[in-house]
Each structure stands twice: as structure tokens, then as C-alpha cells.
Amino acid sequence: MASANVKEFTDDNFETEVLKADVPTLVDFWAVWCGPCRQVAPLVDALADQYKGKLNVGKMDVDNHQIVPQQYGIRSIPTLLVFKGGKVVGQVVGSVPRAKLEAEIQKHLT
């Protein structure tokens, strides 16, 4: 079951929810048919719960929302981007161990 702390980002709400967010934001670009995306999903949920209030976390389905993924050059999924101050400050591609993703997030929380 998905965490209540994981938002759904769309082409329409991306600017407000991600680019103008007061805290760093982790965006998981994914698709329903993507096996590695399903592998990383529980990790994204856990991190959303762990960093609640410090990190905005959400997912963007690249099949249903294509404008934003194209703008950021998303070519393979899962791609997880960290945004801070309206800019991409971190990137992790693929299903990675928790430690690797958490290390990337930690760099941008201060």
C-alpha cells in the first residue's frame, strides 16, 4: 500500500508542488508496467514517511503525464530527481539500494 505522504505529481501541478515547494522535493518518474519502478516504490514510500515535513515526495506517471518528463530529459525509468529551489540538484536512475538514494537526499536537506 502506498504511503499517504507520497503525492501524485502531474503536468498541471508540477510547478506549484515541486518547483515552488518550500522544502526539497523527491520526484519518482515511473510507469505501471515498469518492473524496477515497482521495486523502488516501497523505498520511496518509506522515505516519504521518514522525512515527512523535511522532504516533499511524489510520483509522476510518465505515461499519463509526458510534458514534464520530456522537459527534464527522462529517458529511462525509474528516474528519481531531487529538486530544491526550483532546480534539479540530485538524480538517481534505476532501482538502487536504500543507502544510495538516502545519501542523495541527505545532501540536499540542509
Q: Sign of the CA dihedral 9, 31, 109, 43?
A: positive
Q: Within a 10 A sphere around the Cβ of 74, how many other Cβ atoms? A: 20
Alpha-carbon gap, residue 65 to 9, rounded angstroms: 9
57 catalytic per annotation:
no
Check 34, 43, 68, 101 and give the catalytic one: 34
Q: Is 37 an active-site residue? A: yes
Which one of 6, 18, 26, 37 is the catalytic residue? 37
Cell of 15: 510547478
The three cell numbers of residue 100 are: 544510495
Residues with a known catalytic role: 34, 37
